[in-house]
Amino acid sequence: MLASWYDDQGPAADVLHVGELPDPVPGPGEVRVRVTVSGVNPGDTKKRRGWLGS
């Protein structure tokens, strides 16, 4: 699946990764849901930049 993630805090151009990850396998009683669009909360960008602590 196509995903974006970060391992360290900082500016997006420096820390944000985009790439393929293995498809998750649902466990018992779980389902996998296809997400085609996802919003970004301002708190997420503040956390990535380190403004909310580590």
pLDDT at residue number 17: 93
Helix (H) or strand (E) holding 37: none
pLDDT in tens, 11-38: 889 998 999 999 999 999 999 999 999 8
Pairing of strands 16-20, 2-6: antiparallel
Residue 47's pLDDT band (cuts 50, 70, 90): confident
pLDDT at residue number 20: 97
pLDDT at residue number 28: 98
Residue 48's CB is within 10 A of a number of other CB atoms, namely 19
For 1-54, strand residue ranges (E) read 2-6, 16-20
pLDDT(54) > 70: no
pLDDT at residue number 44: 79
